[in-house]
């Protein structure tokens, strides 16, 4: 079976590029880089001087951030234009979810405090109602419930609680 040298070379380059979670977090730790990435995600021309000015960057700072986003695999250049990579699209979605989770911090903190108070005698139905009222973001609620599978309220396991909740 003949091998395509170009594809083999491209595969080797992709495989040799190791990107870690730390690399991605390091790049996204900078607010202006996040703003640049979000601008690219919604279709702004990243080569626009207006964008550079609006972000409050010098040209050098701008290109340094573009390089870091590219090195982290979040954006790619195609025919002179930058766009999100497939990896970047997923990271943007996760970033938006992280932002929603941060905005729910105090609600999650309240749930933790109620759960950890030894004198809480909430019935499982009431506990699920509390979670349902406080966590109105479906994705966050699903993750919370999945991560608390070992949680017991009274003598009920979370699986039993979900069954009860589905009957509400």
Q: What is the pLDDT along the chain (168 residues), one digit of tens a residue?
A: 455 555 555 555 555 568 889 999 999 999 999 999 999 998 877 667 888 888 999 999 999 999 999 999 999 998 888 899 999 999 999 999 999 999 999 999 998 888 777 656 777 778 788 888 999 999 999 999 887 744 444 444 455 545 545 544
| Proportion of the chain in helix, strand, coil states, percent, rounded to 5 | 65, 5, 25
pLDDT score, position 150: 46
pTM of the model: 0.71
Q: How far apart are CA 97 and CA 139, in angstroms?
A: 8
pLDDT score, position 129: 86
Tokens of 167: 């009957």
pLDDT score, position 2: 54
pLDDT score, position 14: 52
Return the residue matching tokens 């349902």: 132
User: Domain locations in the chain?
Assistant: 5-98, 104-166
For residue 130, count CB atoms less than 10 angstroms from its CB and return exposed for 0-12, middle for 13-18, buried for 19 or more: middle
Q: Are 57 and 65 in contact (CB under 8 A)?
A: yes
pLDDT score, position 8: 56
pLDDT score, position 168: 46
Q: Which CATH number fits domain 5-98: 3.30.2270.10, 1.10.10.10, 1.10.3720.10, 3.80.30.20?
A: 1.10.10.10
With b for 16 or more beta-carbon neighbours within 10 A and e for fewer, the 67-93 pattern comes to: ebbbebbbbeeeeeebebbeebeebbe
């Amino acid at each position: 079976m003949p091998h395509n040298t170009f594809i083999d070379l491209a595969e080797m380059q992709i495989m040799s590029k190791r990107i870690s979670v730390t690399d991605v977090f390091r790049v996204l730790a900078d607010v202006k880089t996040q703003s640049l990435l979000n601008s690219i995600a919604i279709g702004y021309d990243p080569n626009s001087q207006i964008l550079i000015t609006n972000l409050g960057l010098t040209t050098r700072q701008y290109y340094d951030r573009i390089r870091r986003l590219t090195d982290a695999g979040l954006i790619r250049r195609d025919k002179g234009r930058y766009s999100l990579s497939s990896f970047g699209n997923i990271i943007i979605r996760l970033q938006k979810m992280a932002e929603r989770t941060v905005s729910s911090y105090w609600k999650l903190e309240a749930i933790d405090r109620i759960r950890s108070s030894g004198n809480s005698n909430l019935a499982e139905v009431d506990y699920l109602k509390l979670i349902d009222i406080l966590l109105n973001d479906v994705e966050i609620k699903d993750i919370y419930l999945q991560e608390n599978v070992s949680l017991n309220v009274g003598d009920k396991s979370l699986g039993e609680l979900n069954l009860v909740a589905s009957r509400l």
